[in-house]
Amino acid sequence: MAICVGYLEANHQDATLTVAGLVSPKARWQSFEERWPRALRAEGLTSFNGRAFIEGTGEFSDGWPLDAGRQRRLVAALGAIAGDSAIFGVSYSLRLADYRAVTKSLPQVETAPTPYAVCAGVAMSRILNWMRTAHSGDVTLFVFEDGWIDHQQVRNVAAAEGVEHGQPVQIWPREWLDEHGRRRLLRPIEACDLLMPDCHSDLTDRLIRHSAWDQELLDRDRLSRILAFTPFEVRHANRAG
């Protein structure tokens, strides 16, 4: 038995929210953790942030916006490392206007899972179903980037998608200070930023070539079914009452 870890994050673009992520065995992530910082240091960087890269802010404000060759070199180097590490990748999106329209019809809007939780739960269920087919003896752990997300909401959405079992969801920040005041970075989440279309990485193409990529825009009918789902525990409590 091997342990695989899926790292997933949410990104807003225009009127859409997307959760994208990568899955890999722990041994491959360990190799990734060694190679990724070296590639960044070669370009004078300490971390990779897709939004900062696209907008030319933060570490990418000094000279980067006008140096297309340097941008391509960095993305190619990072994409190769992430591509060597990941065994599966996903991207699930929803239109926020569709989400708002569907939630208006719910009897208890305040208990509805957030857009992040909806896409996260769908991604989690898809990954688990893929793992059962491709790596049936392995255990999959999930780490989501901190944000407007609740682990129980993610589990409820996964249940609506037919997956009611799995390891507890973990929610981590992208960056934090440890007990000694040292800066710590969740490097696999940085790799997920390469899945942003405006980063112009070939990571998605690499995964497609290996039949290891799944992508979907959740339509309004799918959202209605997910958001109307009542978890088993709630149904059971209602019957008991």
Q: Check residue 233 and report its DSSP letter.
A: H
Domains of the chain: total: 1
CATH number at 102 reads 3.30.420
What pLDDT is stored for residue 231 in this prediction? Answer: 62
3-state helix, strand and coil shares in percent for the chain, rounded to the nearest 5:
50, 20, 30
What is the DSSP code string of 71-135? Answer: HHHHHHHHHHHHHHH-SEEEEEEEEHHHHHHHHTTSS-GGGSPPHHHHHHHHHHHHHHHHHHHH-
What pLDDT is stored for residue 25 in this prediction? Answer: 96
What pLDDT is stored for residue 119 in this prediction? Answer: 96
Per-residue pLDDT of the chain (241 residues; tens, 9 = 90+): 578 999 999 998 779 999 999 999 999 999 999 999 999 999 999 999 999 999 999 999 999 999 999 999 999 999 999 999 999 999 999 999 999 999 998 887 778 899 999 999 999 999 999 999 999 999 999 999 998 888 899 999 999 999 988 888 899 999 999 999 999 999 999 999 999 999 999 999 999 999 999 999 999 999 999 998 866 444 443 444 4
Nearest to 7 by CA among 122, 92, 94, 89: 89
What pLDDT is stored for residue 188 in this prediction? Answer: 97
Distance CA 67, CA 59 (A): 14
What pLDDT is stored for residue 241 in this prediction? Answer: 44
Confirm whether pTM is higher than 0.85: yes
Domain hosting 222: range is 3-240
What pLDDT is stored for residue 13 in this prediction? Answer: 78
Tally Cβ neighbours within 10 Å of residue 94: 26
Yes or no: say if 195 and 7 are a contact pair by the CB < 8 Å rule.
Answer: no
